Structure 1
Amino acid sequence: MITEVLSEVKTQMEKATAAIKDGFANVRTGRANPALLQNVQIDYYGTMTPLPQLASVQNQDARSLLITPYDKSALQSIEKAIREMPNLGANPSNDGNVVRVTLPELTEERRRDYVKMVKNRAEEGRIAVRAARRKAKDELDKLKQEVGEDEVGRAEKELESITKSFIDQIDSALSKKEAELLEV
């Protein structure tokens, strides 16, 4: 029973950490990265479709991305969706075959805004990890009658070390992303 509780909480914390790291990948840094466009939804024949299902996205150089749609009729929709993306500031151009997205240089103020946004996302991740810990601790407290206080005490210590390792992972990802954002 205790191992089930600990494995379940570990799974929840892994999901929270993975979501935060994915969120960090979507935050623009000084270089162009295809992950920036990972969550862009395109109106494709009345259905909202993720960009990676409609086109390949490649780095052309440090500040531009090249989007090659699998279906040329989607060019206008792709261009429109990228233009309307908040926090990107890019102006895509369409030459009839591909969409080129050139990202403007980040200003110091914009970099600071992105750092604040990343810190907020990291805090949301820490909160999710702590919520999973709280839920697991409540479940362990319910098991005290069945398995004994010593077993629950050991499980709680293990729960704390699991929690600390996931919070450390989030903090590490945050510091890497922060350094990446502030790099000029």
Structure 2
Amino acid sequence: MAIADVKKNAQAKMEKTLNSLSEELKKVRTGRAQVSMLDGIRVNYYGTPSPLSQVASISTPDAKSFLIAPWEVAILKDIEQAIIKSELGMAPMNDGKVIRLKVPDLTEERRKDLAKQVKKIAEEARVAVRMARRDANDEVKKLQKDKAVSEDEGKKAEADIQKVTDDFIKKVDQVAEEKEKAILTI
């Protein structure tokens, strides 16, 4: 394996970590209605747990509510039960054709808890980026030990890997900061 491959693999791992962070942060609630908040809800659809988005149309008529229109009216109760069982903290209002969900306002205390949760998720992402760096540096050292690359090339590769790591840590911090700002904004 060449140094270029080691760098490429490390960067790919860091990209995956950043994408994973973004996906994880989508699940953290802000004060606004976002369809991604309902991604984790599974509805018992004829005995099969199915994602809510596959059994109903989900829309956000305004910033504080959802409108869920099932493809089949018969599963309204199942959707309602799935929402109640999820830990969203929203009470579904069933009018016989659609379900309405109102996103409750976040209290200051809850906002701070969510901000802490974002920091924790971001720290896990930073650790994953650093682990990718460590793995890449170990590969470089192994190449040096096997005399596949010179010591100077190894040092340069480690410096390049560190630079990429620093860039990804900055990106992680930036993404987390944006989410935190969205949560703390009233």
Q: 5+ residue gaps in structure 2?
A: none
How far apart are residue 54 of structure 1 and its match?
2.0
Counterpart of 2:61 in structure 1 is 60
Counterpart of 2:165 in structure 1 is 163
Question: Is 1:33 matched with 2:27?
Answer: no
Write out aligned runs for 1:65-80 (5 A): 65-80=66-81
CA distance in structure 1 between the partners assigned to 2:50 and 2:132 by the alignment:
32
Q: Which amino acid aligns with 1:168?
A: K
Counterpart of 1:84 in structure 2 is 85
CA distance in structure 1 between the partners assigned to 2:9 and 2:41 by the alignment:
31
CA distance in structure 2 between the partners assigned to 1:38 and 1:48 by the alignment:
13
How far apart are residue 168 of structure 1 and its match?
0.9
How far apart are residue 52 of structure 1 and its match?
2.0
SS of 2:148's equivalent?
A: helix
How far apart are residue 106 of structure 1 and its match?
0.7
Task: Please give the TM-score of this superposition, normalised by the length of structure 1.
Answer: 0.93
How far apart are residue 61 of structure 1 and its match?
0.8
Aligned Cα root-mean-square deviation (Å) = 1.3
How far apart are residue 100 of structure 1 and its match?
1.0
CA distance in structure 1 between the partners assigned to 2:37 and 2:60 by the alignment:
11
Count how many residue pairs are aligned between Structure 1 and Structure 2: 183
Write out aligned runs for 1:1-184 (5 A): 1-86=2-87, 88-144=88-144, 145-184=147-186
SS of 1:147's equivalent?
A: coil
CA distance in structure 2 between the partners assigned to 1:157 and 1:69 by the alignment:
54
* Larger Rg belongs to: 2
CA distance in structure 2 between the partners assigned to 1:78 and 1:41 by the alignment:
8
How far apart are residue 43 of structure 1 and its match?
2.2
Q: Which amino acid aligns with 2:153?
A: E
